[in-house]
Structures are given as structure tokens and as C-alpha cells.
Amino acid sequence: MGLYVPALAVFAGTFVALIARQLSGRGPRPWMALGAGGLAMIAVGGLSPVGAVQVLLSNGPIFLLLAALFVFVAALDLNGSFEHLARWIVGRARRIEDLPFLLFVGFGLVSALLVNDALVLVGVPVILAVARRQGIPPVPLLLVLAYAVTVGSVLTPFANPQNLLVALDSGMPQPITTFLRYLLLPTVASLLLGGLYLRWAMRRELRPSGTPVAPVPRVPLFPSGDWAARIRRAPSVVVFPAVLIALVGSELLTGLTGVPSVPIQDVALAGAAIVLVVSSARVRIVRRVDWTILLLFAGLFVVVAGGVAGGLLGGLSAVLPIAGPGAASLPGLGSVTLASLLGPQLVSNVPFVAIEIPLLHGLGYGAGSTTTWLALAGASTLAGNITLLGAASNLILVERAESLGVRVRLASFVRYGLPLTAIAATLLFVCLWLGA
């Protein structure tokens, strides 16, 4: 396929605009830049209008999953679940320098259950409230949040869009249990070791070592009281766990009986529909969702698809070559991991995975190449901790923080994120290699 320069120019211009905004603090908001880029891609002929619609329809499961989980996040935020979790975490801290470790582990575990793009939206105001109460700079704790939702979301196929793409398009059987089997150990280890690193690295930016936290009433994680009344007011507190049980149970049933499992996005969408039907706060929940994130992803998919049609795939393959499945497991796994860490710095992790999936299929990787697909999902997710452009969740966090008057700079992000990524990526690679 030859190069189509106008499409590649639109692709490059869109991502240059995103980078320039991170460096200067000026320019259109990320969803606006990507939306404009998508329209420009159609205008220059990089994609036809019909082609753009087909791209969006092919990514329909991503939009459905995001919409469903956004509803859950909005409902849980509305009933105070995230604020309660933050109070519980802060109540466990004795000194200020304990906060990065506790928040990193806590929000990392939650991000394995809720899509990270939605979690950062509600997490930013919660983190800012913690920083104000403790009298400490907010940026270090915002960075902790960004890093946590990236590392934690490696664990499950529904915790971020790129994992879902791999789960749906790789042909991997029983993706939820497969992700848990191979990625539980490296994810938990990365949260613990990464949290200890952040506790050490950020100690001087917070307050003098040994400074006690401001008094916070200790609250139980599961408060006592009239749970029947709580459930009537906030049905999401039981519907969401039920959805998680249904997702795992569907796969286990498939493994035992051979009955096809229900698609992940369909289970999540059914649960979200139940919440909206039975909740008296359904209108407030819908209004609380930031639907511009879906526009951000729509623009992202169109811009990248136009770039691929314009010849981007050949150039990316030349810059980040991947060994075929016939190569020894170590070089093959290493090349996929390295490409998946570096590639998202050019195009963000979701579109990079969308590009790599057909490339890996073309090289001969099939449904049985489990560790290769997990390396693509895990490393492309961890790539979000190298630079702000590496993950859409970072762009969402930066935009949300700016709307509340706090700016997160690229240099600060890379300063802590690069060593953190080295820790997590090494653990991921070693565990996948040993499990191959």
C-alpha cells in the first residue's frame, strides 16, 4: 500500500496538537483535538464517511463497554463509594509519605474492576480533596492516581479498552480467566513494588519525612447499618458485584459445559440498564457521565484508521519490528513487549493495539499464542505510565484536573513514570516468559 500524505499529515498534526497542549498548557481539549482530527481525516479523503462509520461500528463493543462502566462509575460516585474508599485508605496512613503507597495499591485494585478511563474522572476530585485536607501539593497524588489505574487495569480484559480489543479480536478462549491466570502475579507484584517506589520517590515532594497525616476518622470498609435501605437508595452497590460474578461465572460455565459465554460488553450493558431502571437517581447518573470521552475515542479510532489506510502500518512495522511465532519464545515475546511499550508513545495505547492485532494475525499468531497476546495487552497498558500520550486515561485525567485548576506537567509525569514502568514491565515479561 502506498503512502497517502494528506492522511498521514492529519494523523501527525492531531497528535502534535495533543503533545503541544501537554507541553504548553494551551490548545484545544483532547476530545476536541481528536474529534477535529477525525473530521479532517474524512475531509482529506483518508477515510470515506462510510469507512469512518464502519470503523466506529467495528469498535462498537468498546463503546458499549465504556458506556456501561461509565454508568456504574457515575452511580458509585453519586452514592459516595469512592469518597468512602479514599477516607478508608487515608485512615490507614500514619504519615504523609504513606499516602502514595496506599493510594496506589487501593486505586490500582479498584481499576482492575472498573474501566480506568472512567475511574480517573471521579478519582481526580477525590484525590484533590485528600490533598487539600492534608495540606500537601495535589500533583504528586494525581500522578499516583494516573499510575495506579494503569498498572491495576492490566489484570482484567474489561479494565481498559485495549485489553478488551485483545480479548475480542485475538480469538483467545475464556479471556477473563486467562488474564487472571497469567497476569494476577505480575499485577499484584507491580502494585506492591511500585507503591513502595512511589512512597520513596515522592517523600520529599509531600512534606518532611515523618509528618503525621491530618486526623481522619477511621471508617470500616463495609459500614454496619441498614443495608436494605442502602441498596434501595443505591442499587449499584449490589448490581456491580453481581455483574463481576456473572462475567467470571459465564466463563467457568463455558469451561465446564462448552456453552458459549455471554460477551463481556453485553453483561456489563445489562447490569448498567438494571441500575438505571431501578435507581431513583437515574437522571442524575446519566448527567454525571462525561460522554465526551466517547467522542474522544471515536475521534481516536477514525484518526488512526485513516493513518493506517494512508500507510502508517508499514512505517510502524519497520520502526518496531516483531518476530514471528516461529521464533524462539524469548525473542518473540521480547519484541512484542518492547514494541507495545514504545508504540503507544506515538499513537496512544488503544489505537496501537488496534493496529497491532491485524499485524500479529498476519505474522501467524493465533488464538493459541496466549502469552503473546497478553504481552501486547499488558505492555501497551503499562506504556501509559511512560508519557501522558501513552494512554487515553492520562489525557482524561489531565483534562479533568485542568478543569479543576490543577495542571499536570509532562516532565513530572515522566520523572516518576519511567522507573515505575521499568519495574512493572520487567515483572510482566518475566512472568509471561516463565508461564509460556
User: pLDDT value at position 278?
Assistant: 92
Between CA 332 and CA 79 the distance in angstroms is 47
Number of residues that make up the chain: 436
Between CA 140 and CA 136 the distance in angstroms is 9
Task: Pull the grid cell for residue 250.
Answer: 459465564
Between CA 139 and CA 145 the distance in angstroms is 10
User: pLDDT value at position 149?
Assistant: 95
- Please, is 318 exposed, middle or buried when counting C-beta atoms within 10 Å of its C-beta (0-12, 13-18, 19+)? exposed
Please identify every stretch of the chain with a pLDDT value under 50, giving residue numbers as ranges.
1
User: pLDDT value at position 317?
Assistant: 66
User: pLDDT value at position 301?
Assistant: 87
8 A C-beta contact, residue 165 and residue 392: no
Give me the amino acid identity at 428: L
> What's the pTM value of the predicted model, to 2 decimals?
0.84
Q: Is the dihedral of CA 391, 395, 400, 406 positive or negative?
A: positive
User: pLDDT value at position 208?
Assistant: 60
Residue 104: CB partners within 8 Å, gap ≥ 6? 144, 147, 148, 151, 191, 194, 195, 198
Between CA 309 and CA 54 the distance in angstroms is 13
For 326-371, what is each residue's pLDDT tens digit? 655 677 788 899 999 998 887 778 878 888 888 888 888 888 889 9
Between CA 412 and CA 387 the distance in angstroms is 10
Between CA 427 and CA 278 the distance in angstroms is 43
Give me the amino acid identity at 281: A
For 53-69, what is each residue's pLDDT tens digit? 999 998 888 899 889 98
User: pLDDT value at position 320?
Assistant: 67
| C-alpha distance from residue 273 to each of 75, 79, 277 (Å) | 12, 17, 6
User: pLDDT value at position 313?
Assistant: 66
